[in-house]
Amino acid sequence: QQQVKQSPQSLIVQKGGISIINCAYENTAFDYFPWYQQFPGKGPALLIAIRPDVSEKKEGRFTISFNKSAKQFSLHIMDSQPGDSATYFCAASRRISGFQKLVFGTGTRLLVSP
């Protein structure tokens, strides 16, 4: 059961442009929404995360927008750079048995052209 749907599957953006990746979730019990960045041959690394009590969180060029009523959240990468080329995963979790069990989207492969 796909509980977190992510789109697009791939994305090409010119250097300096805005990259936007969208995710939608089904389970209203989710209370933590992280984004991970993964480079080839590496494990995912936490990029930015948000909890549902805020609608937006910004860290540098990365912003999460969160729409609780629509059960959607998105990652915006401003002034995209070639070094941002990677695969991005959204995730959602709720605390089960003492830990946050993460459910991941299927990933978006971002290519930022020079």
Partner 1 sequence: GAGVSQSPSNKVTEKGKDVELRCDPISGHTALYWYRQSLGQGLEFLIYFQGNSAPDKSGLPSDRFSAERTGGSVSTLTIQRTQQEDSAVYLCASSLQPAREEFFGPGTRLTVL
Instruction: Measure the CA–CA gap between 60 and 65, rounded to whole angstroms.
Output: 14
Record the tokens describing residue 68, joined without a space.
Answer: 């609780």
Radius of gyration of the chain (CA): 14
Among 24, 30, 44, 86, the residue binding partner 1 under the rule CB under 8 A is 44
Minimum distance from residue 28 beta carbon to partner 1 (Å)? 19
**1 belongs to the binding site for partner 1 (CB under 8 A):** no
Read off the DSSP letter of residue 63.
E
**25 belongs to the binding site for partner 1 (CB under 8 A):** no
Q: By CB under 8 A, name the binding residues for partner 1.
A: 4, 6, 41-46, 89, 91, 95-107
